[in-house]
Each structure stands twice: as structure tokens, then as C-alpha cells.
Structure 1
Amino acid sequence: MNIFLVEKDFTEIGLIQPLWEQLNLVHLDKSVYFKSKYEKFTFKQRIESINKKAQTGIIKLDMLLDKDTENYIGYCLSSIEDNLGEIESIYIENNYRKLGLGGKLMKSSLKWFKDHQVINISIGVAYGNDEALPFYRSFGFNIANYILKK
């Protein structure tokens, strides 16, 4: 396995678009109540909210590069704003899952939060994506509350 974690500058955020679009399809597939949200949700809309956070906070972008194919196969986008940390988005292509790569991304972001003395960290998980919960629990994350939407 010839896969490397590469930290990218926020100006290179567009590199995650194909991976983010795959993640959005996963959310569309798993969504129980809000399929129309994911059908209409665009990368441009998502990045607008990240750009707003970048104005008042800081953003970290890690990507996984498969050196054999020269393709990016995963990413983790994290933010700190008002001393609150958030794993904004994390995704690894299906063929590369269960290889410990998600753990590499999470450890890098958690170290970044620690380096910035951020201890209040959250991750939003789309309802229906229950298979992701054990992964997050393995890093100490637990369900804090439910947010219901109409």
C-alpha cells in the first residue's frame, strides 16, 4: 500500500469535490427523511459554508494520496471556530476502506485540535449512517443529543 496523508492548503479545497460528491451520494442513499436535501445539495453550497468558517476560524484539509495511481482517495476537512472544533467531513473511497486510513485522518485532525488546545469537538453524522458510529466511538465520540428537523 503506497498511500500517503498530505496536508493541503485551504485554497486547494476544490480537490475534494469528486470525493465529497461520492459522500453526498452515500448520504442520499442512507437518508431516511431528507433525500431531497441530498439530491439538491451541491459542492458549491457546501464550500460556501466552509468559506464562511474560514473567515473567522481556521480550516485543516488532509487528503490521502495513492502514489501508485496518483489519485486522491480520501480526505478529512476540519475546522476551529470560537474554540470549537468540528470534523466537517471525512470520506474514503470504498475500495480503500478497512485499511486503517480513516484512523490516520482522524488522528491527524485530533492532534491538530489538541495542538490548538481545542477540547470541544463535534462530528455531524447523517441520520441513517449508523455504520459510521462505531468508527467515531473508537475515537471517543458519542451521541450528545438529537436535532430534529422538519
Structure 2
Amino acid sequence: MGLNRYDMNGVVFETGGDALLTRVGPLWEKLRAHHASCSAHFSGILAKRSFADRTSDILHHAHKVRVDLAVQGGRDIAYCICTLSSMAHGEVDSLYVESDYRGQSLGETLVRRGLAWMDENNATRRSISVVYGNEAVLSFYRRLGFYPRNIELDQLPPF
């Protein structure tokens, strides 16, 4: 996927494939810290997770990757990573918007762009995982048509 640029209200949206993942790193680190602070049981594990590990997971499990970056004044201010599995399962893998830019529909715009990409690629299912403790985002995702389907539980180490 080549790099595509779209300008909307002074925010430039850059779209590409896995080559854009490296630019996501600094924003992902903020998301990781947020998730670690929200998690009641797994904060230590989340805090230790590296961006390299997360990127490796994405590239290993995804058949296709789409990265959308929102940029203002040359600064990356938000991103959305969407993936498509070989079985056509689309996933909003990761979304983050800098706190100063929240409430301006950037997150919704990024997710909707990813969902349109999933439609173009004939996704048969769309999902997103939300860290337990970060339930404040559920109303945002509900507005986009996402609802709880099941609850997955992990066992704390040591096993």
C-alpha cells in the first residue's frame, strides 16, 4: 500500500501499510502507559510490553495492515492501526489520539477510515479488544457499532 495523503481542517491524514508502523511508536507508548494505569490485574505486564513486541505480533498475525496517521504541523497527533487476517477478520488493532486533540472527531474519523478499508477488502467480521479497566471507551465504540460479544479471561503468571 502506498502512502496516501488527505487534508481535512488543517489535519493531514496519511495512510499506508506496515512501513508507517515505526511512526506510531511514540504515540503507542502513551497508549501503553494509559492501559497499564487502567488495568487492575495486568498493569505490570502491560507496562513492560515493548513496541517492537507489539509490532511483531501485528505483522505475524495480520494478512494485511493499514496505518492511518493524523498529522498537524508536521507532528503525529493520532493513529489507528487496522488489520485483516487471512480469514478476512478485520480488527481495529490500536487507536490513540493525543489528549489535546480529543473530542474533535479524530478518533472516529480514523476508525471510520479503517472500517471503510475493511469493507473494500471484504471483511467478514470486524472487532476490537478493549483493555479491562478502560471501559470509558465503550460508549465511543458503541457509537461506531461495536458491542461486547464475549469476555476473555487470562490467568496471571506465574502459571
> Does the TM-score normalized on the shorter chain lie above 0.5?
yes
Instruction: Give aligned pairs, total.
Output: 146
Give 3-state SS (helix, strand or coil) of 1:106's partner: helix
Runs (4+) of structure 1 exceeding 2 A deviation are none
Map of 1:44-55 to 2, 5 A cutoff? 44-54=52-62
Q: Specify every segment of 5 or more residues in structure 1 that has no aligned partner in the other structure, as ranges.
A: none
2:20 is aligned to 12
1:99 is aligned to 104
Determine the C-alpha separation between the residues in 1 that align with 2:115 and 2:41: 31
Structural RMSD (CA): 1.0
Which of 105, 110, 116 pairs up with 2:115? 110
Q: Specify every segment of 5 or more residues in structure 2 that has no aligned partner in the other structure, as ranges.
A: 1-8
Determine the C-alpha separation between the residues in 1 that align with 2:124 and 2:103: 27
TM-score by length of 1: 0.94
Give 3-state SS (helix, strand or coil) of 1:126's partner: coil
1:77 is aligned to 81
1:35 is aligned to 43
Percent of pairs with identical residues? 29
Determine the C-alpha separation between the residues in 1 that align with 2:105 and 2:124: 24
Determine the C-alpha separation between the residues in 2 that align with 1:140 and 1:58: 22
1:58 is aligned to 64
Structure number with higher relative contact order (C-alpha < 8 Å, ≥ 6 residues apart): 1
